[in-house]
Structure 1
Amino acid sequence: MKHVLLTLTLFVSFFASAQIVNIPDANFKNALLNHNPVIDTNGDGEIQVSEAEAVTEYLNVYQKEISDMTGIEVFVNLQELSCDRNEITELDISQNINLKKLYCNYNDLSELDISNNTNLEVLQCVANNLSSLDTSQNLMIWHMYLASNNLTTIDLSQNANLQSFLAAGNSLTSLDVSQNSELQNLQINGNDITSLDVTSNQNLITLSVYSNNIGSLDITQNPNLEGLFVSQCGLSNLDVSQNFNLINLQCSNNNINSLDVTENTLLENLSIGGNQIVNIDLSQNVLLEIFSYNFGPISFLDISQNINLLDVSLINTQINNVDFSNSPNLCRLNMNNNFLLEYINLKNGNNEILVGGCANPLSLLNNPNLQFICVEDAQYAATNFTDIPPLATFVEDCSIANGDLNHITGTVKYDDENNGCDGGDVGIGGLLVNTTDGTNNFATTTISTGDYNLTVAENIYTTTVLGLSPYFTLTPAQEVDTFVGFNQTEIADFCIAPTTTANDLAVTLVPLNAARPGFEARYKLVYENVGTTELSGNVELDFDGTLVTFVEATPTETSINGNTISWDYSNLNPFETRSIEVIFEVAQPPIVEAGDVLPYTATINPVSGDAAPDDNVFELNQIVVNSYDPNDKQVLEGYQVLIEDVDEYLHYVIRFQNMGTASAINVRVQDALDEKLDWTTFKVLDASHAMETQLVNGSIDFIFDNINLPTATSDPEGSQGFVAFKVKPVSTVQLNDVVANAADIYFDFNAAIVTNTVFTKFVDVLGVTDFDTLNVVAYPNPANNILNIQADGSVSSIEIMNVLGQTLLTSKGNSNREQIDISGLSAGNYFVRVVVGDGSRVLRVVKK
């Protein structure tokens, strides 16, 4: 009998040890069978219970396309489990009570029960779908990484041993860390937290809360803090005077007026852009290596004590000059878009490092007033330093920078009597004067008195007046000046005289705002005498009275006959331009809906006897919209032009509005013309405010200095501005060519607002295109993390491309409002293709 019982006991024992674990997911089973170290120790192609129980240290099934982890419960002695980057929707670890470390990142978990895992010390569950997590039983846990889930709340009061908590990219609205006195690393950026108290966390080393709206933050009780990341938090002040160990401080895009970092002598990385900080003292930060102040009102920067500087970014500031002569290690400098910048001292004894010391080492683009860059070797700099404004001049003698570049000035007059220009002849405004050194072209438009001023460097320059019609002759045909050295001025006056008698008038209708159902639509009739004789006549505007109702005009109309408004004019001189402002009220729905077209026809008489009667008539077909971007660009000819009209002007209008919280002192509108447009034919038609126009190699800069544009909330109509101009396509444009154009609008030192991109296609037959009715807006632009897309119809897809046309991101959609995350893109310009139904639009956006 004893023999029988012994045999039975041995059989049961053998059966238990040989029992096979149920693992229904073939990918999970295959990962276990091929695991290193070996789990299937008997090599039978199965996992026995005894083999699972023998696994104690770790189990790694990273990226094995596993969707079902059934069988993991048998690994009862397991201390570390890594199942990252699979397709797991459920994970039962209730039997794995010895588990100390769990890594389940990048799965599809919506729930995770760790209440039985009381030995758990490390939990990483990034990029899942967790909306809640109970950690009250995990008293041993010291590290939690829960970024990119859907957490709205989490209770950490029982996790007294917690040292590291990372939960960026969730939906947390609050977080209590008062019981976590051991906390060293807290990263909760990209949530919806409105307040945070870290005064109990004296061991805190890293605090990252950027992209929340906490408003205020007290860090005076965190003496061990080394890294502080509080950008985009709505902070109005920040006291870091007690954080003596601070190494990295990022506090950009807040509302901070002043910042004292004189006590932070260990600081190596400082980013403070997008605030209202006018001055900052860096004299005590001798270890500083990286400094960034982009988009702010700072006008002076002393970095003479910061000898360890490696990387400096100063974009869109009010800095006039900056001296890097005490920064021998400087290997990256980005100082784009500083409109007041005139001088940079780069004579630091080590200019070579700015060529290959760092990626993208030197960028000084779009600094229109930058005159001198002092360097070690001017010839070396000219050969190796790219991304430099054409006018900027390299010099080795830094004392030269106290002076000025050279100037070509003069007056362009009209000799209507053909007896040579004299004191009785008047100057002509709006003419394009260009000078070239054979490589670069610098141009401006004459002011109303005919005067102009061009800034140039050392070289031989040829100056002339561009865009004159064959009716006129120019004397002299050109002026050649040679400049050796600086601080010199040459006078180049020009005289224009008629060569024939020609009646020639032109008219344009410029829309000053978007046409919306039930709202007023404002327009400007701009008419000009482009011939050689003084003329009188009338301007007429035809409109559709069923769609719009005439409200008023300035000057007052001479007559109204049905749907035709008429204004008489007299004594319009050659080169003279006049304008009429007209206001209509757009009918309400259902008479006028979004997508409808408002047709207008403007005519200037007399047409009979006009040398070029085609430009006596201008047709505008304005598309009605519901929502619109107040900063936009339009081509008035629309999205199609007949190839037979390729020698005619294209008319553009750029509109802007101050949507900020303070008046804009200065506004600049920059337009880099498409290469298929002939910049030498450029002509300003009208502008809302006094401005100066500069062209450098065909890129136009409209400068509205001291415009003092009020905010939209304080003065909706006064907060708006515009500039209208015309330019012809180049003569080589062919059938089906497309001209694409956008503009950048700068309000003071803020980042550029990028307008929509307008397209004009040259066709042989006019037809309906997807551009004609498709209204798409991308905002905010520039954007930081999330780009919003709004369209009149349902968005089916969004594609983001770089400037080379390479696709970087794609997103599907099913509504007229979509979002796409661009946080992973580097700062710069991108194109966004939005598909709506059978049509698409391409917009240009800027990533901050």
Structure 2
Amino acid sequence: MNKIIKSILSIPFALVVLLTSSCLKPEPCNSKFQFEQESITLKIGEQVTLKFSGYISKKTQISWSVEKPNVASVDNGLVRALNAGTTNVYAEATINGIKKTALCTITVAPEGFRFTDPNLPKRILQLHPEIDTNKDGAITPEEALLLTELDLEIKDKAKATAEEKITSVEGIELFTNLTYLNLKNQFIKDATPVEALKKLEKLYITYTEIPSIQVKEMPELRDLRLFGNKNIKEIDVRSNTKLDTLYIQDTQISEIDVTNNKELIDLNVNRTNLTRLILTDLPKLNQVLAVKCQISSVSFKGLPAIKKIYIDNNQLTRVNLKDLPALMHLSVYNNKLQTLELDLPKLMFLHTHENELKSIDLSKLPMLFHLDIDKNPLVKIDLSSNKLIRDLRSEYIPTLEEINLRNGEYNEDAQYEIKEGNTGLKRVLVDSGDEETHLRNLFPAGSGVAILAE
């Protein structure tokens, strides 16, 4: 009986010995084969030794490999960064009879990559926390590629907070997948890093202190806004053949060539140093704003879609407006125009005040609705062919003797500002009826102005 009991007791003891001996191999039973860091960013030339997170026996044979040997090399766990890019480093070993693999992603940053202003990456992560895939609070070159749109505009520069202000965009060149970048009202003085963003379609750098910007390596650019940069003196957009919007107002730019920009729709060059404006064969151009420049010469040819031209406050003595079939708004006030030939079938709004016009032919403007022609040395204004005229401003013209409003049409909402400063006015020709009453109220008997109605 004692022998039987001893035999029974020896069974669990044997099991304990067996289980214990199985765990006395070189690797612990629960050891994991993985690196302490799953991803590491290095600069070119830097090196790092990969460490495992668990216990690995020194006797364990490990084979090392790298996915892209041109990006990084590995030698017994020592990784060296060779060229910019991203690659995976693998370690393989057989542990407790099981083949295991550890992986670490190595990102090699472009040479010289850094964020000079720490506010830049901080602000980017505030706006786009989703790109921080490893949740380390930093931006790797690989993470930068996840961003396609970045809006860093300051709405009110005078009230900008410290975290909104960015003084340097060095490091932005890493975000090569950006298609939209807005730096309006930022405090930057150098835009050179932006020039590396070749996929940009929309670029807004306005009201900054940058002295220049090159965009010729941005073939996809459609919308470029550089207004308010007082230090910019030139811009070359000849290579940007997809450009449809160009705003360069309030700069020192003195010359602009848009000959190659056949997609151009909207052009604003207000308050620049331009002395001439040549717009030729631009089939989609819709609007031109060239106010308060130094322009003395303009050329408008091959502009079938243009609807609005504003070239006020310049030095123009003449302007050719032929073959502009879609033009609806024309503003040329405060120039030195002595003649103005108008054959514009769709023109509705005409501003010619403060020029040197001694005569003007309005007979080829069948859609004319509004005319502002104050302060020109005119003798006669003839609107007998303009049946749609509703708003006339022709004051402070002491040489003016006659206004002809007799066109067979009158609208009770018509506004005629034709009284002040017209000291030489002798007669106004009108249609009998309501228009006659309107004008007799403006010039009652004894005013010296005859109202001639038919």
Q: Following the alignment from structure 1 to structure 2, what is the Cα–Cα distance between the partners of residues 237 and 199?
A: 17
Structure 1 residues 170-185: aligned runs within 5 Å: 170-185=251-266
Q: Following the alignment from structure 1 to structure 2, what is the Cα–Cα distance between the partners of residues 7 and 334?
A: 90
Q: Following the alignment from structure 2 to structure 1, what is the Cα–Cα distance between the partners of residues 182 and 350?
A: 34
Asked if structure 2 preserves the Cα contact closer than 8 Å seen for 1:287 and 1:308, the reply is yes
**Equivalent residue, structure 1, for 2:222:** 142
Asked if structure 1 preserves the Cα contact closer than 8 Å seen for 2:336 and 2:356, the reply is yes
**Does residue 394 of structure 2 align to residue 314 of structure 1?**
yes
**Equivalent residue, structure 2, for 1:106:** 185
Asked if structure 1 preserves the Cα contact closer than 8 Å seen for 2:308 and 2:329, the reply is yes
Tell which has more relative contact order, 1 or 2 (C-alpha 8 A, sep 6+): 2
**Equivalent residue, structure 2, for 1:77:** 146
**Equivalent residue, structure 2, for 1:168:** 249
Residue type at the aligned position of 1:313: R
- 1:188 deviates by 1.2
Structure 1 residues 691-770: aligned runs within 5 Å: none
Asked if structure 1 preserves the Cα contact closer than 8 Å seen for 2:430 and 2:452, the reply is no
Query: Which of 369, 372, 380 is the matching residue for 1:289?
Result: 369
**Equivalent residue, structure 1, for 2:38:** 12
- 1:401 deviates by 3.1
Query: Which of 160, 165, 175 is the matching residue for 1:96?
Result: 175
Q: Following the alignment from structure 1 to structure 2, what is the Cα–Cα distance between the partners of residues 401 and 201?
A: 47
User: Please, which runs of 5 or more residues in structure 2 have no aligned partner?
Assistant: 1-26, 41-52, 54-103, 106-114, 155-159
Larger proportion of helix: 2
Q: Deviations over 1:593-647 (max 9, x none)?
A: xxxxxxxxxxxxxxxxxxxxxxxxxxxxxxxxxxxxxxxxxxxxxxxxxxxxxxx
Structure 1 residues 602-617: aligned runs within 5 Å: none
Change (3 A) 1:289 1:48: same
Q: Following the alignment from structure 1 to structure 2, what is the Cα–Cα distance between the partners of residues 2 and 312?
A: 97
- 1:100 deviates by 0.9
Change (3 A) 1:127 1:2: farther
Structure 1 residues 428-467: aligned runs within 5 Å: none
Q: Following the alignment from structure 1 to structure 2, what is the Cα–Cα distance between the partners of residues 77 and 329?
A: 62
- 1:26 deviates by 11
Query: Which of 358, 363, 375 is the matching residue for 2:438?
Result: 375
- 1:242 deviates by 1.4
Query: Aligned to 1:197, what secondary structure does the other structure show?
Result: strand
Asked if structure 2 preserves the Cα contact closer than 8 Å seen for 1:328 and 1:349, the reply is no
Asked if structure 1 preserves the Cα contact closer than 8 Å seen for 2:145 and 2:175, the reply is yes
Query: Which of 240, 261, 265 is the matching residue for 2:321?
Result: 240
Residue type at the aligned position of 2:411: P
- 1:138 deviates by 0.8
Residue type at the aligned position of 1:8: Q
**Equivalent residue, structure 1, for 2:271:** 190
Query: Which of 414, 423, 436 is the matching residue for 1:339?
Result: 423
- 1:211 deviates by 2.3
Structure 1 residues 254-333: aligned runs within 5 Å: 254-262=335-343, 264-317=344-397, 318-324=399-405, 326-328=409-411, 330=413, 332-333=415-416
Asked if structure 2 preserves the Cα contact closer than 8 Å seen for 1:229 and 1:250, the reply is yes
Identity within the alignment, % = 18
**Does residue 401 of structure 2 align to residue 401 of structure 1?**
no
Query: Aligned to 2:350, what secondary structure does the other structure show?
Result: strand
Q: Deviations over 1:760-816 (max 9, x none)?
A: xxxxxxxxxxxxxxxxxxxxxxxxxxxxxxxxxxxxxxxxxxxxxxxxxxxxxxxxx
Residue type at the aligned position of 1:101: Y
- 1:147 deviates by 1.2
Asked if structure 2 preserves the Cα contact closer than 8 Å seen for 1:346 and 1:374, the reply is no
Q: Following the alignment from structure 2 to structure 1, what is the Cα–Cα distance between the partners of residues 333 and 450?
A: 35
Residue type at the aligned position of 1:118: K
Asked if structure 1 preserves the Cα contact closer than 8 Å seen for 2:331 and 2:351, the reply is yes
Residue type at the aligned position of 1:338: N
Q: Following the alignment from structure 1 to structure 2, what is the Cα–Cα distance between the partners of residues 224 and 293?
A: 26
Q: Following the alignment from structure 1 to structure 2, what is the Cα–Cα distance between the partners of residues 346 and 3?
A: 108
For the pair shown, which has the larger CA radius of gyration, 1 or 2? Answer: 2
Asked if structure 1 preserves the Cα contact closer than 8 Å seen for 2:429 and 2:452, the reply is no
Change (3 A) 1:82 1:300: same
- 1:118 deviates by 0.8
Q: Deviations over 1:288-314 (max 9, x none)?
A: 222211221122212233333343322
User: Please, which runs of 5 or more residues in structure 1 have no aligned partner?
Assistant: 42-46, 54-69, 352-372, 382-387, 404-848
- 1:121 deviates by 0.6
Residue type at the aligned position of 1:234: Q
Asked if structure 1 preserves the Cα contact closer than 8 Å seen for 2:281 and 2:301, the reply is no
**Does residue 329 of structure 2 align to residue 251 of structure 1?**
no
Q: Deviations over 1:35-79 (max 9, x none)?
A: 6xxx557xxxxx8445799xxxxxxxxxxxxxxxx9698543222
Query: Aligned to 1:218, what secondary structure does the other structure show?
Result: strand
Asked if structure 2 preserves the Cα contact closer than 8 Å seen for 1:375 and 1:394, the reply is no
